[in-house]
Amino acid sequence: MMRLLTSGMVMGFGSLAYAGQPENWQLNFQAAATPVMEDINAFHNLMLPIITAIVVLVFVLLAWVVIRYNRQSNPNPSRFSHNTTIEVIWTVVPILILVVISVPSLRLLYFQDRIPEADLTVKAIGYQWYWGYEYPDKDIAFDAIMLERDEAKKAGLPALLATDYAMVVPVNTNVKVLVTAQDVIHNWAMPAFGIKMDAVPGRLNETWFRAEKEGLYYGQCSELCGVRHAFMPIMVKVVSQDVYEQWAAAASEDIDQAKALLARLDADATPKLAANSK
């Protein structure tokens, strides 16, 4: 009975205008929702032409060698031990390529690891096989368990990705996430945020994000952790600062009441979103 009530309250999540989630036959990244993911996309766009050019060059050289220097085309091959010019080229060119790649790569790594002053701190705890969340400054704690397929369908949420409770954060806010685990190693991964952080028992890892667009975002545990590894998704709901404050006040008293509040606010916002889209 409680599970059905929970599913009913989650239905409010389905009214959000934007959802960051994987799509069938998707080849590219999910749309970036944070500055970190935007930089990852930019680095990917820089790297892809370089990688493609290298692959094409190597393939062309291999094909040329196979065709030009096979036994039939070249029955009497020349014999030499080295070629200084070629050796200088294949040493210097890769070094230059690595330098070009390393500068933006190191800049991105620094940006990912440099955690700015946090406006909000959330602790994510991995269990077999679900996630627990604690808001140390708000006296809020709850577990987020995957919805069964029929529950997710009733709620208008994606199967295998939706949870009964969402981690709720305000938009345009620096959120520090403390990641750990209770039993085995897990991994808290959110593709649209550019986050993938190991959850290790007895250790507290840190990461951060600043979501710049309201909506629902989905991730999954990305470290093999047992028989139900594929069934411990992550759901983050990004809301306005005002909605977050209302949710936090309610969640500190009763997490189910907070979820019901979000459902009502989403239902109230749906007509406005529909009107603005016309």
Please give the residue that has the higher pLDDT: either 15 or 177. Answer: 177
Q: Are 138 and 105 members of one domain?
A: no
Out of 81, 98, 113, a domain closes at: 113
| Residue where one domain finishes, among candidates 85, 113, 141 | 113
Rounded CA gap, 250 and 256, in Å? 9
Q: Whole-number mean pLDDT of the chain?
A: 89
Whether 125 and 136 have beta carbons less than 8 Å apart is answered as: no
Host domain of residue 102? 35-113
Same domain, 109 and 122: no
Buried b / exposed e over 209-236, threshold 16 CB at 10 Å, is: bbbebbbbbbbbbbbebeeebeebbbbb
Q: Which of 96, 113, 130 is the last residue of a domain?
A: 113
Rg (CA), the chain: 25
Other C-beta atoms closer than 10 Å to the C-beta of 4 total 10
Whole-angstrom distance, CA of residue 153 vs CA of residue 145: 15
Q: How would you label 169-198 residue by residue, b for 16+ Cβ within 10 Å and e otherwise?
A: bbbebebbbbbbbeebebbbbbbbbbbebb
User: Do 93 and 172 fall into the same domain?
Assistant: no
Question: Which pLDDT belongs to residue 9?
Answer: 43
Lowest average pLDDT, out of 3-17, 56-70, 197-211, 219-233, goes to 3-17
Number of folded domains in the chain?
2
User: Which has the minimum average pLDDT: 12-16, 32-36, 75-79, 202-206?
Assistant: 12-16
Contact call for residues 105 and 43 (beta carbons, < 8 A): yes
Give the rounded percent of residues in the chain with a pLDDT score beyond 90.
74
- Give this prediction's pTM: 0.83
Q: Which two tokens stand for residue 252?
A: 């500190």
- Read off the pLDDT of residues 164-220 as tens digits, 9 standing for 90 and up: 999 999 999 999 999 999 999 999 999 999 999 999 999 999 999 999 999 999 999
More confident call, 137 vs 74: 137
